[in-house]
């Protein structure tokens, strides 16, 4: 008897040994992600069970909220890497960069070139969910003039662009790369975000994908992404991530 149902493959089975999850909040006690070392290890173990071996964790740097420094981030990275080795998880590569809020504090860091980068010159940036910076395009220009390339985190989550999707093309034309949150392919952030995520994939505007893992609830939701059409759309994007290690 022929089945009318296409076999569903969870997205968590698609991560090969070359995949790099370059957006996560796994360092202990440094932002709104893992609160302690025990949680960091538990999250990484679960992600490792999906086949993910390469991580570049990206704690927030946000003026007045998360005033993290490169020194603190790298110190936490070393602590976590050492702990992973001490419990036998020696085949995990753990890098560290940051997720920079495009605020006045970032402008100062850019001037001083005190940035933690992905793949030498790429930097992960984000905006407020309420509205873009008034000088957004000036900031994107300055980032590139300083020798960096911006990757905008989760563009699908900025609701102020949902009714004016031409802005996404405008951002791309301004030299901004896009990183999709994999959870946006579910309804975790809402149906509107899911629709825009799928739209951006279909239009070929997404360059990379990341988990943006903060806690176990994110991984619970990730395991439930299994719609065949969505899986096929995101497959090619997952391969792009390996270039960032």
Q: What is the pTM of this model?
A: 0.95
Looking at residue 8, what is its pLDDT? 84
User: Residues 183, 189: contact at Cβ < 8 Å?
Assistant: yes
User: Residues 97, 22: contact at Cβ < 8 Å?
Assistant: yes
Q: State percent of the chain over pLDDT 90.
A: 94
Using CA atoms, how far apart are residues 36 and 150, in angstroms rounded to an integer?
A: 30
pLDDT digits (tens, 9 = 90+) for 66-94: 999 999 999 999 999 999 999 999 999 99
Looking at residue 4, what is its pLDDT? 47
Give me the chain's average pLDDT, please: 95
Answer yes or no: is pLDDT of 2 > 70. no
Cα-based angle 160, 202, 230 (whole degrees, multiple of 5): 100
User: Which pLDDT band, with edges at 50, 70 and 90, does 245 fall under?
Assistant: confident
Q: State percent of the chain over pLDDT 70.
A: 98
Answer yes or no: is pLDDT of 196 > 80. yes
Q: Where are the domains of the chain?
A: 16-244
Cα-based angle 16, 219, 74 (whole degrees, multiple of 5): 75
- DSSP H or E run through 151: strand 149-153
Looking at residue 3, what is its pLDDT? 47
At residue 109, the 3 state secondary structure works out as helix
pLDDT digits (tens, 9 = 90+) for 7-31: 788 999 999 999 999 999 999 999 9
At residue 198, the 3 state secondary structure works out as helix
pLDDT digits (tens, 9 = 90+) for 123-153: 999 999 999 999 999 999 999 999 999 999 9
Answer yes or no: is pLDDT of 159 > 50. yes
User: What are the respective helix, strand and coil percentages of the chain, to the nearest 5?
Assistant: 45, 15, 40
CATH architecture group of domain 16-244? Alpha-Beta Barrel (3.20)
Using CA atoms, how far apart are residues 11 and 15, in angstroms rounded to an integer?
A: 8
Provide mean pLDDT across the span 40-50: 98
User: Which pLDDT band, with edges at 50, 70 and 90, does 215 fall under?
Assistant: very high
Length in residues, the chain: 245
Answer yes or no: is pLDDT of 1 > 50. no
């Amino acid at each position: 008897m022929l089945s009318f149902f296409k076999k569903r493959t969870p997205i968590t089975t698609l991560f090969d040994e070359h995949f790099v999850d370059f957006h996560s909040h796994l360092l202990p006690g440094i932002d709104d992600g893992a609160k302690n070392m025990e949680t960091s290890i538990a999250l990484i173990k679960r992600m490792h069970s999906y086949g993910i071996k390469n991580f570049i964790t990206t704690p927030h740097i946000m003026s007045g909220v998360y005033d993290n420094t490169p020194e603190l981030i790298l110190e936490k990275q070393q602590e976590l890497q050492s702990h992973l080795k001490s419990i036998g998880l020696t085949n995990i590569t753990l890098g560290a960069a940051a997720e920079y809020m495009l605020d006045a504090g970032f402008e100062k860091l850019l001037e001083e070139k005190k940035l933690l980068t992905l793949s030498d010159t790429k930097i992960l940036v984000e905006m407020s969910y309420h509205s873009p910076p008034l000088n957004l395009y000036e900031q994107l220009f300055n980032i590139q003039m300083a020798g960096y390339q911006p990757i905008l985190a989760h563009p699908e989550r900025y609701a102020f662009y949902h009714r004016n999707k031409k802005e996404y093309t405008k951002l791309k034309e301004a030299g901004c790369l896009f990183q999709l949150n994999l959870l946006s392919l579910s309804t975790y952030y809402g149906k509107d975000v899911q629709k825009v995520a799928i739209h951006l994939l279909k239009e070929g505007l997404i360059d990379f994908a990341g988990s943006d893992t903060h806690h176990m609830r994110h991984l619970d939701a990730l395991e439930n992404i299994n719609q065949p059409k969505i899986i096929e759309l995101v497959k090619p994007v997952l391969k792009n991530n390996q270039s960032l290690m």
